């Protein structure tokens, strides 16, 4: 049995009891090219009220900003920045390109940007140079920062520490690190984004305990789709693409880990996202 356009099994059509905001969706990924309208319809049915599309390079920044200008069943916003994987491409022309989009009324944050030493697709020194430029753009524009960090907590904390007094709010998206790094971020008053990573009984176990340590007013939720399909879905969907309509499953799992109701977690994280990104539209 399938629902609507036949893409999502009925078992997965689960509606959040309260509106949700997905703060990290890579909807310009090629896997959404063929059915984006249906994806947005399903997200609206799942009770998502807004999404922030992640701009990670020239093409995704341009395409994400363009999507926010059209009318959709879910309010769309975007970010503009260069993912650390692409840091080797960062130059003056790309910086001007990003700065141009930071004036766009629906581009709400600088990023994603940061450090990823897990795979080092760009050299660590290139990553630090590009990240420094993003910190400077955030300080100058007073826009919030959407941060990515993997296996680079110590350098990230050092660099943020040097800029903390000059930049505004910042979220460490898809946090998967250890307790010490988390506490370092919380000491800097960062927001923390959680994905379906902690739904994974193998690699997400430490996060299931740590997620309870994030203050309620600092937690936000995201799919990071099409990546990171949650593993708590009721059906095995091997190789399936992750999409925003599945955010209620992540909300449910985090609520259970924190010992609160889904409705309470939804209300709190949506209110945090609205405040963080300064979303004032009546969505």
Binding footprint of Zn ion on the chain (CB under 5 A): 148
Task: Kindly list the distances between the CA atom of residue 190 and the CA atoms of 121, 178, 206, 256, 272, in Å, as whole numbers in the listed order.
Answer: 26, 15, 20, 23, 12
User: Residues 6 or more apart from 120 whose CB is under 8 A from it?
Assistant: none
For Zn ion, the closer CB: 42 or 148: 148
When CB distances to Zn ion are compared, the closest residue is 148
For Zn ion, the closer CB: 106 or 148: 148
**What does R_g of the chain's alpha carbons equal in angstroms?**
18
For Zn ion, the closer CB: 49 or 223: 223
Task: Give the Cα separation of 132 and 135 in Å (integer).
Answer: 5
Considering the complex, what minimum distance in angstroms separates the CB of residue 12 from Zn ion? 24
CB atoms within 10 A of CB 206: 14
For Zn ion, the closer CB: 34 or 118: 118
Considering the complex, what minimum distance in angstroms separates the CB of residue 193 from Zn ion? 9
Task: Give the Cα separation of 160 and 171 in Å (integer).
Answer: 11
Considering the complex, what minimum distance in angstroms separates the CB of residue 177 from Zn ion? 13
For Zn ion, the closer CB: 47 or 54: 54
For Zn ion, the closer CB: 134 or 148: 148
DSSP class per residue in 67-117: HHTS--SSEEEEEE---GGGGGG--HHHHHHHHHHHTSTTEEEEEEEEEET
How does 44-62 read in b/e, with b if 16+ C-beta sit within 10 Å?
ebbbbbbbbbbbbebebbb
Considering the complex, what minimum distance in angstroms separates the CB of residue 170 from Zn ion? 14
Considering the complex, what minimum distance in angstroms separates the CB of residue 249 from Zn ion? 20
- Judge whether 150 and 122 are in contact, CB under 8 Å: no
Considering the complex, what minimum distance in angstroms separates the CB of residue 182 from Zn ion? 16
- Judge whether 272 and 220 are in contact, CB under 8 Å: yes
Nearest to residue 144, comparing CAs of 78, 195, 95? 78
Task: Give the Cα separation of 49 and 21 in Å (integer).
Answer: 6
For Zn ion, the closer CB: 86 or 148: 148
Considering the complex, what minimum distance in angstroms separates the CB of residue 114 from Zn ion? 8
């Amino acid at each position: 049995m399938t629902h609507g356009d036949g893409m999502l099994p009925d078992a997965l059509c689960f509606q959040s009891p309260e509106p949700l905001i997905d703060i990290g969706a890579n909807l310009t990924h090629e896997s959404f090219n063929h059915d984006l309208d249906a994806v947005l319809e399903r997200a609206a049915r799942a009770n998502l009220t807004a999404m922030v599309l992640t701009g990670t390079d020239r093409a995704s920044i341009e395409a994400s900003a363009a999507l926010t200008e059209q009318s959709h069943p879910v309010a769309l916003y975007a970010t503009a920045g260069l993912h650390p994987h692409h840091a080797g491409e960062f130059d003056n022309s790309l910086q001007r390109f990003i700065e141009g989009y930071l004036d766009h009324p629906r581009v709400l944050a600088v990023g994603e940007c940061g450090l990823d030493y897990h795979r080092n697709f760009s050299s660590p020194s290139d990553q630090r140079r590009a990240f420094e430029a993003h910190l400077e753009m955030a300080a100058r524009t007073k826009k919030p920062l959407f941060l990515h960090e993997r296996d680079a907590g110590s350098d990230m904390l050092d660099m943020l520490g040097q800029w903390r007094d000059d930049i505004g709010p910042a979220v460490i998206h898809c946090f998967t690190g250890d307790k010490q790094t988390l506490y370092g971020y919380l000491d800097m008053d960062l927001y923390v984004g959680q994905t379906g990573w902690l739904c994974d009984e193998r690699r997400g176990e430490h996060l299931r305990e740590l997620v309870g340590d994030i203050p309620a007013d600092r937690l936000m939720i995201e799919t990071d789709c099409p990546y990171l399909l949650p593993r708590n879905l009721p059906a095995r969907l091997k190789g399936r693409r992750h999409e925003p309509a599945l955010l209620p499953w992540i909300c449910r799992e985090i609520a259970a880990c924190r010992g609160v109701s889904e409705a309470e977690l939804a209300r709190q994280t949506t209110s945090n996202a609205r405040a963080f990104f300064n979303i004032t539209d009546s969505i």
